[in-house]
Amino acid sequence: MELVLALRRAGITDPDVVATMESVPREVFVPDAFQNKSYQDITLPIGHHQTLSQPAVVGLMTEALELDDRKKVLEIGTGSGYQTAILSPLCRRVYSIERHAPLLEEAEKRFENLRIRNVTTKVGDGTLGWDAQAPFERIIVTAAAADVPPILAEQLSLGGIMIVPIGLSDDFRTILKVIKTDHGLETEELRDVQFVPLIPEEATGT
């Protein structure tokens, strides 16, 4: 399958991540105009200037989270819901924030149709995190930030992992793996990718 080959080329070896990505129907999250590209390893537009990340990047970021069925995950940027659907079977619960209400409404319909039950969502400013549900063992940011968002770092539990794309140039961003330790934040650069920017603003219904 094209998707599995893309994951292998990207060096993704976690069998649970690969099996989950094989089982989640990516076409459900792809706009009608791009259905024939559902399993190509490319980024696709989903409206509102947002994108559906290429499978290799989704796999890379998911694998880097080091998930298990005890982990509570905060996702910043629900988008189409594809990354959320990948996280769902790999962890205990996903809390996902999306600033575009129409995108979130569509994602919630997909979760319902796929019988995904361990996801809680809300419309909001992802840069503020979800204080009422903090701390989180894992945080994944699906839009590029200028630096590690400080509020999200505060909401990360000790020993927790955050995966976040860093850099706001028009070129490539670097996916950063952040681990919270007794001595502060330890970071590791994973690879360069392209992401839409993480924009702090009031949540709207547009």
pLDDT of residue 168: 65
Q: Is 53 a catalytic residue?
A: yes
Residue 198 confidence (pLDDT) above 80? no
pLDDT in tens, 139-153: 999 988 889 999 999
Cβ atoms of 161 and 177 within 8 Å: the answer is yes
Euclidean distance between the first and the last CA atom of the chain, given in angstroms as a whole number: 37
Measured distance CA(187)–CA(180) in Å, rounded: 9
3-state helix, strand, coil in the chain (%, to 5): 35, 30, 35
Say if residue 77's pLDDT is above 80.
yes
User: The tokens 């140039």 sit on which residue?
Assistant: 169
- Is a pLDDT exceeding 70 seen at residue 33? yes
Indicate if the pLDDT at residue 46 is higher than 90.
yes
Active-site choice (53, 80, 88, 96): 53
Average pLDDT over residues 67-83: 97
Domain ranges in the chain? 57-193
Q: What is the pTM of this model?
A: 0.91
Q: What is the average per-residue pLDDT within 171-184?
A: 88
Determine what percent of the chain is predicted with pLDDT higher than 90: 73
Rama region for 4: left / alpha / beta (φ>0; ψ in -120 to 50; rest):
alpha
Fold of 57-193: Rossmann fold (3.40.50)
Q: What is the pLDDT of residue 172?
A: 64
203 has a pLDDT exceeding 60 = no
Question: 83-109 pLDDT, tens per residue?
Answer: 999 999 999 999 999 999 999 999 999
